[in-house]
Amino acid sequence: MIVSAALCPAAPLLVRDLTGADEAARDLRQACLAAVAELTAGTPDVVAVVGAGDRTGAWNGAATLDLDRYAPGPVLANGQGRAAVQRPPGEPPAMAPGLPPALGVGAWLLGQVGRAGGRLLQAVGADEPPGRCAGIGAALADSADRVALLVMADGSARRGLKAPGYLDERSAGFDAQVVNAVREGRLDALLSVDPVLARELMAAGRPAWQVMAGALDGRKVSSEIRYCDDPFGVAYLVASLRVRADP
Amino acid sequence: MAEQSVLRLGSHGFGPSQLLVMAIVNRTPDSFFRPGDTWDEQTAMERVRRVIAEGADIIDIGGVPAAPGHEVDVREEIRRTAGFIAAVRADFPDVVISTDTWRHEVAREACAAGADLINDSWGGWDDKLAAVAAEAGAALVCSHAGNQLPRTRPHRVSYDDVVADVLRHTQLLADRAVAAGVDRARIVIDPAHDFGKNTWHSLEVTRRLSELTATGWPVLVSVSNKDFVGETLNVPLPDRLAGTLATTAVSAWQGARIFRAHHVVETRQVLDMVSAIRGDIPPARAVRGLA
């Protein structure tokens, strides 16, 4: 059963080391860490991280994000600010090749708040239809007595002229509907988000939202929006979702 | 490791130690650096005249910005560039002219108008481009843009090894170009900094550029005022010259041969300095301690 849920963007820049000397997106990162800290505070049996990937599947719960894919070179390998000495060539990263970045970023957030064990990493295929996403969510909810759900999901990446996908005027209305559904605890509404429109708007979070809707099917939820902005042209939404005890 | 050999552009042959400045002339109202600066044809021609006087070897003429924005279709791109290329060719019979395009229809018209080199920054997205180069006897730039479609921005791109990916893709395109009939001496490879890459990736490509030059294909670098420079130094567009020139020097030292640039005078000086340090050219004037 889901005891709590949190919603965070799947942006690699949440990982502090990836943004260089400048702590870019500090407010966003702090909001995510606060949401994840609350999520794990209730000592759940398992934290299920869900995020979009190439295809649906479960990953080893100990898998972590391969930073070298995003920031190759000696800087991160040796730690910020230390002498840049080359790593031994060919040394394999202790990572999970192919781990969807959404799950890797989620795992990083959990690491930051000191949650090591009891993780379940669930990828959901980018093309998975809403009904199947909901089914995956229901299965996650049944995976343990006390499941905390960390949903790594973004809105449209087409929210401005400088956005990764350039401006699509439809993005503002699309994202607003998602934000309102989350804010008002109407998670069922997320099941009607159109996969085709979501894809056109580069809203990679669509399948993960729908997994969340399935996992919390029929439960009463109250939300706290911790962050809602698009400083880099991608809609970021950070929220804590508290499941109410009354049926 | 393959040796670098003579690069043929138009009727010219350039040896490995000749470092070439490719001056950017945009026939667009909305390119990222000084937008609209050479949108007007007369102003554009004045820039061509100036950059040649400043030491540019190649004039790179483009009609579509790299960033997403207003659609520029094939017809409009040809309208913006082909006539201008013909005018430059008429005024400067000897200069090497490059057409900055990913579209084979545009490349064909540009070559007919006098272009010697097809500069495709989008990684061979149009697979008919090489055939056009072969047919026109033109040179071709084979670049790496990840799997980006033309005019799209990288979004959370990642690589097992970005340099390996660049090597694999550019050599694949180069081999295909040879198979399509492009003269081996007229093929150039370009890692395409910022294209399908985040800043860390562009720095890694620069750090390991010698792996590209070791292929023997002449390497072009296009780094001028790009975002990876801006992000590395945390400076806005007008303040990226120093970072651009540092990257230029490091690339030249590792064997790059063509340098696409907005600032021709400064780029020429950096390249001459690197050539002199390497011992490929003498100092312009050395009297210190010698009198």
What is the ipTM, given to two decimal places? 0.80
Please compute the mean of the pLDDT values over residues A122-129 and round it to a whole number. 98
The H-assigned helical ranges of chain A are: 26-41, 74-78, 101-112, 130-141, 170-183, 195-200, 206-215
* CA-wise closest residue to A99 among A68, A140, A74, A141: A68
Residue A78 has a pLDDT of 53
Q: How does pLDDT run across B116-134, given as a tens digit for each residue?
A: 999 999 999 999 999 999 9
Higher-scoring residue by pLDDT: A75, B181: B181
Is the model's pLDDT at A124 over the cut of 60? yes
Residue B287 has a pLDDT of 79
Contact A164 B231 (CB under 8 A): no
Contact A72 B204 (CB under 8 A): yes
By Cβ distance, the residue of A70, A161, A234 closest to B158 is A70
Is the model's pLDDT at A85 over the cut of 70? no
Q: How does pLDDT run across B244-260, given as a tens digit for each residue?
A: 999 999 999 999 999 99
What value does the CA radius of gyration of chain B take, rounded to a whole number of Å? Answer: 18
Is the model's pLDDT at A83 over the cut of 70? no
| Contacting residues of B for A199, CB less than 8 Å apart | none
Query: pLDDT class for A219, splitting at 50, 70, 90?
Result: very high
CA distance B213 to chain A (A): 19
Please compute the mean of the pLDDT values over residues A173-191 and round it to a whole number. 97
Chain centroid to CA A54: how far? 15
By Cβ distance, the residue of B153, B158, B162 closest to A164 is B153
B197 is catalytic: no
CA distance B144 to chain A (A): 17
By Cβ distance, the residue of A11, A70, A101 closest to B198 is A70
Residue A80 has a pLDDT of 46
CA distance B68 to chain A (A): 6
Is the model's pLDDT at A160 over the cut of 80? yes
Residue A84 has a pLDDT of 32
Query: pLDDT class for A89, splitting at 50, 70, 90?
Result: very low
pTM of the shown model:
0.89
For residue B145, the 8-state DSSP code is B
**Residues in chain B where the model's pLDDT stays below 70:** none
Which chain A residues touch B if contact means CB-CB below 8 Å? Answer: 11-12, 18, 20, 22, 66, 69-73, 97, 101, 157, 161, 163-166, 202, 234
Contact A18 B234 (CB under 8 A): no
Is the model's pLDDT at A94 over the cut of 70? no
> The tokens of B6 are what?
């003579």
A2 - beta bridge partners?
A147
Q: How far is CA A221 from CA A75, A183, B27, B279, in A?
A: 43, 9, 56, 72
B260 is catalytic: yes
Give the number of residues written for chain A.
Answer: 247
Residue B2 has a pLDDT of 87
